[in-house]
Amino acid sequence: MEEYRSSYGLENHGFKNLEREFWNLSTPALYEQAIRHHEGVIAHLGPLVARTGDHTGRAPNDKFIVREPGSEGDIWWGPINRDCTEENFERMHKRMMQYLENSSVFVQDLYAGADPRYRLPIRVITELAWHSMFARNMFLRIFEPDALRTHVPEFTVIDVPSLSADKEEFATSSGAFIYLSFKHKMVLIGGTQYAGEIKKSIFTVMNYLRPKQGVMAMHCSANYGKDRDDVALFFGLSGTGKTTLSADTTRTLIGDDEHGWSDDGVFNFEGGCYAKVIRLSPTGEPEIWEATRRFGTLLENVAIDAQRRRIDLDDDTYTENTRASYPITHIPNADYGGVAGHPKHVIFLTADAFGVMSPIAKLSPDQAQYHFLAGYTAKVAGTEQGITEPSATFSTCFGAPFMPLHPTVYAKLLADKVRDNNVQLWMVNTGWTGGPYGLGSRMSLAYTRAMVRAAQEGRLNDVETRTDPVFGFEIPLHVPGVPDEILDPRSTWADPAAYDKKASDLAKRFHKYMAQFEDAMSDAVKAAAPKA
């Protein structure tokens, strides 16, 4: 194991008196440690199944960025990017170091960013073997012993789930805490076993660093067609279909969640995928479904038969947010290098629970900038306590919780790259049709795939369109393989007047949310707002 240990030791991060350090263990070795310490169980065909306890998703109210002179002028402070003092950070770091004395830790030295010019050397130090395996799955691995021995991280994550914060002392809403310091180049995570906090913390770091180099940081999936210059990007929040639509057997996957767009093209920030798997279908999502049945895949909160060790992807006993983490090599039609050319298509995904947006529409650059800032999707009844009807949700840049800079920084970068590369822009509604949630039905995945493929293959370039009277989008009148009537959302409603009322209601919600960006939008972008 010594040959895989970096000469830049853990004492550089404040550790002392550790019982044992496990450096850069392989996946089989991490399985052994996880089972030895009763962290999970092995399911039929080999995936490792783990539970995350009370936290089955991110803890956004317990994530803080340290306010310090070097970065505070750049951060978009507010309810999403909440601040904490250097004193709190340093106090928690000291507490972590004391807590871990005479304990064992797992270390993974990795990269974030597939393009060597923009990759970030990172180190993930974890209390749990399965969290170390998660990091090994999700980031870019280093296999050469010489490279591991000389690895010096530019950012370090220290992850200690069993150490909780005192809510009174640290002003957290639970025992969980995520502290990010750009000065110390360190993330501290505790009080939560949800492994996604590790991934999203490094994504936040990349979203701060890379735009300063002219690289657009994006919460999107990406794939390409016959060659690396036929790239499509899929922006969208959780549940809108990023992972599902990018895992297309007719195209090559670049990555499923986080990417950069430089002057030379698109590159993956990650080395793996982190897919929602609740009610996953072997016919609808065959590549992802197959990945859930392989050695090296980590399943979070997925139900398993204790005797037969068979998993049940339809069971939401623990959470709707069941997840699979697996290396991108588990997807057969993936580009393991993670680098491709400039996009030809940018696709915004929304799960519109109001049922008023067209299943596919072409956007102008101004409309794209407006809707990128809006980042609209919708929560439906039952997803959160107190929600009894569809609730519009706006997440700027389709990933506000991970965007530390002001949203206009990312919007301008996107606008510049779209203009310079003559990109086709689309809005795709993977939500409801024929009425709102509760009355209408969810858009057919087969129809959505047909529409997306038609757009990517250029079969919608010259078709006749009509202008949506509320949103102003250009809606195709015909899409191969899709019934014409589905393309006009108003005609799918039994009561057109009810559609008009609901569409106007949604437009007003856009206006209310986007008022915060009035001073930063050009007149042309303002004119792209929906008509109430």
Task: Out of 93, 200, 210, 251, pick the active-site residue.
Answer: 200
- For the chain, report the end-to-end CA distance as a whole number of angstroms: 64
Cβ proximity of 374 and 394 under 8 Å: yes
Query: How many H-runs (helices) and E-runs (strands) does the chain carry?
Result: 13, 30
Q: Which residue bears the tokens 């016919």?
A: 283
Task: Out of 5, 13, 58, 344, pick the active-site residue.
Answer: 58
Q: Is 143 exposed, middle or buried (0-12, 13-18, 19+ CB in 10 A)?
A: exposed
Structural tokens at position 243: 């992972």
Sheet of 20-23: strand order equals: 20-23, 104-112, 120-126, 155-160, 186-190, 177-181, 63-66, 82-84
Largest CA distance in the chain: 71
Cβ proximity of 140 and 118 under 8 Å: no
Task: Out of 6, 27, 243, 350, pick the active-site residue.
Answer: 243
> Is 242 annotated in the active site?
yes
> Is 500 annotated in the active site?
no
Structural tokens at position 246: 């990018």
Task: Out of 174, 238, 319, 393, pick the active-site residue.
Answer: 238
Kindly list the distances between the CA atom of residue 386 and the CA atoms of 335, 389, 391, 470, 510, in Å, as whole numbers in the listed order.
Answer: 43, 9, 11, 29, 22
Structural tokens at position 307: 């005797």
- As a whole number of angstroms, the distance between CA 528 and CA 372 comes to 12
Q: What count of other Cβ atoms lies within 10 Å of the Cβ of residue 401? A: 17
Task: Out of 219, 417, 449, 502, pick the active-site residue.
Answer: 219
Task: Out of 95, 323, 362, 371, pick the active-site residue.
Answer: 323
Q: What count of other Cβ atoms lies within 10 Å of the Cβ of residue 406? A: 17
- For residues 153-189, one letter each, b for 16 or more C-beta atoms within 10 angstroms of the residue's C-beta and e for the rest, the string is bebbbbbbbebbbeeeebebeebbbbbbbbebebbbb
Task: Out of 62, 115, 257, 468, pick the active-site residue.
Answer: 257
> Is 167 annotated in the active site?
no
> Is 93 annotated in the active site?
no
Kindly list the distances between the CA atom of residue 182 and the CA atoms of 191, 395, 492, in Å, as whole numbers in the listed order.
Answer: 21, 23, 50
Name, in order, each residue with C-beta under 8 angstroms of 304's C-beta and a sequence gap of 6 or more: 41, 43, 49, 310, 311, 312
> Is 243 annotated in the active site?
yes
Cβ proximity of 205 and 187 under 8 Å: yes
Task: Out of 210, 242, 449, 502, pick the active-site residue.
Answer: 242
- As a whole number of angstroms, the distance between CA 519 and CA 526 comes to 10
Total residue count of the chain as it appears in this document: 532
Name, in order, each residue with C-beta under 8 angstroms of 158's C-beta and a sequence gap of 6 or more: 13, 93, 96, 125, 186, 187, 188, 189
> Is 117 annotated in the active site?
no
> Is 219 annotated in the active site?
yes
Half-sphere exposure of 14 (CA within 13 A, CB side): 18
Element containing residue 242 per DSSP (H, E): helix 242-246
- As a whole number of angstroms, the distance between CA 73 and CA 71 comes to 6
- As a whole number of angstroms, the distance between CA 301 and CA 311 comes to 10
Tell me which residues are annotated as active site.
58, 200, 219, 238, 242-243, 257, 323
